[in-house]
Amino acid sequence: QSVLTQPPSVSAAPGQKVTISCSGSSSNIGNNFVCWYRQLPGTAPKLLISDNNQRQSGIPDRFSGSKSGTSATLGITGLQTGDEGDYYCGTWDNNLSIYVFGPGTKVTVL
Amino acid sequence: EVQLVESGGGLVQPGGSLTLSCAASGFTFTNHWMAWVRQGPGKGLEWVANINQYGGEKYYVDSVKGRFTISRDNAKNSVFLQMSGLRAEDTAVYYCVRASGSCYPSWGQGTLVTVSS
B110/A44 Cβ within 8 A: yes
Low-confidence ranges of chain B (pLDDT < 70): none
Chain centre distance of CA A46:
11
Name the strand (E) or helix (H) holding B21: strand B18-25
Q: What is the spatial distance between Cα B28 and Cα B77, in angstroms, rounded to a whole number? A: 9
pLDDT in tens, A44-81: 999 999 999 999 999 999 999 999 999 999 999 999 99
CA–centroid distance for A78 within its chain: 17
φ and ψ of A3, to 5 deg: -70, -30
Task: Tell me the β-bridge partners of A70.
Answer: none
d(CA A70, nearest CA chain B) in Å: 16
> Residue A2's pLDDT is what?
86
Q: Which of B45, B62, B95 faces A88 most closely, judged by CB atoms? A: B45
Q: Do B103 and A51 touch (CB under 8 A)?
A: yes
The mean of the pLDDT values for chain A is 97
Q: What is the pLDDT of residue A1?
A: 76
Q: Are B4 and B29 spatial neighbours (Cβ–Cβ below 8 Å)?
A: no
Across the interface, whether the CB atoms of A56 and B105 are under 8 A apart is answered yes
Tell me which residue in A91, A99, A101 faces B44 most closely, judged by beta carbons: A101
